[in-house]
Amino acid sequence: MAAALAVLIVFPVAAADIDRASLYRAQSVTSGTGEENRAWGLAPCLEEVLVKVSGDPRLIGTRVLRT
C-alpha cells in the first residue's frame, strides 16, 4: 500500500497532464456559414466533446445525442 502511494506522489496521475482546454474543443468542416450548416457541424462536435469530458466512449453514436 505504501509503495502504491509513493508511486502516485512521485508520478502524478496522467489526468493532470491533459490539456483541459482541449477537452472542450472539436472541429467540423461544413460547406457554408448558414444556420443549417452550423447545426449540421455542431452535432459531431458536441458528441466529441461530451465523450472526451465524460470519458464514456459508449456515448459515441447513441440516440440520446442525436435527439
pLDDT in tens, the chain (67 residues): 555 545 455 555 555 566 777 888 999 888 888 888 888 888 889 888 988 888 888 888 877 666 5
pLDDT of residue 13: 52
Instruction: Tell me what pLDDT residue 23 has.
Output: 83
pLDDT at 18: 65
Q: What is the DSSP string of 12-66?
A: --GGGGS-HHHHT------S--SHHHHHHHHHHHHHHHHHHHH--GGGTT-HHHH
pLDDT of residue 5: 47
